[in-house]
Amino acid sequence: MHDFDYLTDRDIYFDAACQSLRPRPVIEALNRYYTEHNSCGERVKYAWGRKTDNLVEETRERMLKYLKLKSRDYFVSFTLNTTYGINLLLNQFKPGQFKKVVTSNIEHNSPFLATIAFARREKVPREVIVRRKDGSINLEKCDFSKALVVMNCASNIDGRKMLNIKEVVKAVHQAGGIIIIDAAQALAHSPEILYKTEADAICTSAHKMYGPSLGVMIVRRDLQKRLVTNFVGGGMVDDVTKEDFALSADGNPDHAYTRFESGLQAWGEIVAFGEALKWLESLSKSDKKQFVENYTRLFEFLNNHSRIHLINQEANPTMSFYIEGLDSHLVGEALSDEGIMARTGYFCVHYYLDHVKHYPPLIRFSLGYHVRKSDIDKTIKTLERMLG
């Protein structure tokens, strides 16, 4: 794809689940911020600042539109990353309102650790639900009464999804619980899973969505009454006296997003993220078709090779595996010698991959729209040669 024309023929980047490559328009938008309207947002009256404000506002609106959500129900705040967003929420719930905290067995360390810390702090039990093989949740086995639920809707091991997310959200709400979705692996390639969601909050990372390094929180307006804002500073107050302050988020519903945005924000990154959303929305059917063909072909090769143990149940842009008799880290280095950049290890899913499944360290290929057909040909040939 010409938007990734900076890749040489040799560069085969298979680590999109960690950070997507950034297409040219995103890089250019970030450069434009630095060279044409470098300015502080939301505080200044000069022209560059007004331009920044308009573009930041556009990004918030575009994010909601991307998920078919209404600004009447949700607002968008920016943070550092998914991990930061989840922790920001979990650390600011008014104490004593949950009977337990619930997560699942296939979580990234980000919600997994944050829920451990929450349970310790709040002195409530923590439950780790076992997801079905396809990623869905068996609701008959769940009790969500007054529970805080924090789970992914797509896994970073193999992309399996919470297929019954709508029913899960409904069940949590009917039981008087709250659900926060870790959407880090869903929003680049499968946003539809969250269309018109009623989840209380969604945390994600723009850097996994072809955008710059940036965290994104999509929060239901009515969640605010459950929170006590204790991570505070500049950019979020209307007034300050010697011993008190008035939060802008409390005074004006249009400023709700400031509740999570203390201090100066990554204005250039936010603006460039708007460009990434625009870029994702503009992808053609043939771009998407080529992407599916690429990962499906790689999946089929990995799935059919006698020495390869593939974790995936089905074709997905993210696939993890190990090769019988070969150390994954050494394989990773050998692939790198051929220009193939893949992750090795447990990808921050230590509990499930190491302690539940007892897998050896794995190799992960995670593909993005930048991948060329020739990258798949070369990877298959390289693996065939390596495996004899």
Ligand X SMILES: Cc1ncc(COP(=O)(O)O)c(C=O)c1O
Instruction: Enumerate binding residues for ligand X (CB under 6 A).
Output: 17-18, 81-83, 108, 110, 152, 156, 182, 184-185, 205
| Contact assessment for residue 387 and residue 380, using Cβ atoms and an 8 Å cutoff | no
Nearest to ligand X of 248, 328 (CB atom): 328
Nearest to ligand X of 84, 245 (CB atom): 84
Cβ neighbours of residue 6 closer than 8 Å, sequence gap 6 or more: 24
Which 8-state DSSP code applies to residue 161? Answer: B
The nearest distance, CB 115 to ligand X, in angstroms, is: 12
Number of C-beta neighbours around residue 38 at 10 A: 13
The nearest distance, CB 153 to ligand X, in angstroms, is: 9
Nearest to ligand X of 216, 249 (CB atom): 216
Nearest to ligand X of 52, 365 (CB atom): 365
Which 8-state DSSP code applies to residue 174? Answer: H
The nearest distance, CB 152 to ligand X, in angstroms, is: 5
Nearest to ligand X of 156, 197 (CB atom): 156
Burial of 24 (0-12, 13-18, 19+ CB in 10 A): middle
Q: Which residues are paired to 15 by β-bridges?
A: 366
Q: Which residue's entry shows tokens 């024309």?
A: 5
Q: Which residue's entry shows tokens 């709040």?
A: 122
Nearest to ligand X of 188, 331 (CB atom): 188
Whose CA is closest to 158, among 276, 332, 4, 303?
A: 303
Hey, what are 156's tokens? 């970073």
The nearest distance, CB 202 to ligand X, in angstroms, is: 12
Nearest to ligand X of 205, 328 (CB atom): 205
* Cβ-count burial 141-176 (b if 16+ within 10 Å, e if not): ebebeebbbbbbbbbbbbbbbbebbbebbebbeeee
The nearest distance, CB 247 to ligand X, in angstroms, is: 25
Hey, what are 126's tokens? 């923590």
**Upper half-sphere CA count for residue 349 (Cβ side, 13 Å):** 28
The nearest distance, CB 254 to ligand X, in angstroms, is: 28
Nearest to ligand X of 109, 290 (CB atom): 109
The nearest distance, CB 203 to ligand X, in angstroms, is: 8
Helix (H) / strand (E) element for 110: namely: helix 109-122
13: three-class secondary structure by DSSP:
strand
Nearest to ligand X of 15, 250 (CB atom): 15
The nearest distance, CB 99 to ligand X, in angstroms, is: 25
Distance CA 361, CA 347 (A): 9
Distance CA 280, CA 369 (A): 10
Nearest to ligand X of 7, 18 (CB atom): 18
Residues constituting the chain:
388
Number of C-beta neighbours around residue 236 at 10 A: 22
The nearest distance, CB 85 to ligand X, in angstroms, is: 8
The nearest distance, CB 216 to ligand X, in angstroms, is: 10
Between helix 109-122 and helix 82-90 the angle, nearest 10°, is 10
